[in-house]
């Protein structure tokens, strides 16, 4: 008996994208910028498992004058509302398809009953 490769995979084993709060980003930026030398800055990045590009993006957002720029756009309220709206839309589309199929069955049954009644 052979198993298919996709059956053995654990769906929970899929890695999750890390998200950072605005407070965390600001704290790490302050700590990084107050570090005395490159070795200390590298140690901060390794300790927090971050890349230099993270700090570049966070610094750019902070320097643009937007504390809101440090928040994650993927987790914004507008995105959550859009996600909820899309979920409701797909639920209604599934319900509509189910009701259409039920209507077709009912119309077919009525047509058959009408023909049977005409024969009798």
Q: Tens place of pLDDT for every residue, the chain, 120 residues? A: 455 555 556 666 777 888 888 889 989 999 999 999 999 999 999 999 999 999 998 888 888 766 555 556 666 666 667 778 888 888 999 999 999 999 999 999 999 999 888 888
For residue 14, being part of any structural domain is answered with no
Domain shared by 68 and 85, yes or no? no
Assess if residue 8 is contained within a domain. no
Query: Has residue 9 been placed in a domain?
Result: no
Residues 67 and 104 in one domain: no
pTM, 2 dp? 0.46
pLDDT at position 68: 56
| pLDDT for the residue 9 | 64
99 within some domain? yes
The pLDDT value recorded for residue 76 is 62
In angstroms, rounded to a whole number, what is the distance separating the alpha carbons of residues 80 and 45? 30
Task: Pick the closest to residue 29 from 51, 67, 58 (CA basis).
Answer: 58
Cα(87)–Cα(73) distance, integer angstroms: 20
Can you give the pLDDT at residue 1?
46
**Residue 80 burial (C-beta neighbours within 10 Å; 0-12, 13-18, 19+):** exposed
Same domain, 59 and 88: no
**Whole-number pLDDT of residue 72:** 60
Determine the structural domain holding residue 58 and report its residue range: 20-73
| 31 plus 67 within the same structural domain | yes
Q: What integer pLDDT is reported at residue 77 of this predicted model?
A: 64
Q: How many domains does the chain have?
A: 2
């Amino acid at each position: 008996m052979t198993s298919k490769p996709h059956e053995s995979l654990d769906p929970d084993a899929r890695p999750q994208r890390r998200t950072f709060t605005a407070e965390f980003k600001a704290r790490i930026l302050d700590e990084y910028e107050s570090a005395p030398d490159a070795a200390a800055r590298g140690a901060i990045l390794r300790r927090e498992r971050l890349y230099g590009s993270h700090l570049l993006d966070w610094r750019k957002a902070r320097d643009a004058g937007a504390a809101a720029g440090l928040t994650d756009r993927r987790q914004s309220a507008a995105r959550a509302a859009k996600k909820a709206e899309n979920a409701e839309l797909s639920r209604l589309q599934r319900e509509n398809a189910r009701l259409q199929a039920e209507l077709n069955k009912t119309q077919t049954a009525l047509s058959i009953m009408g023909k049977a009644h005409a024969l009798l």
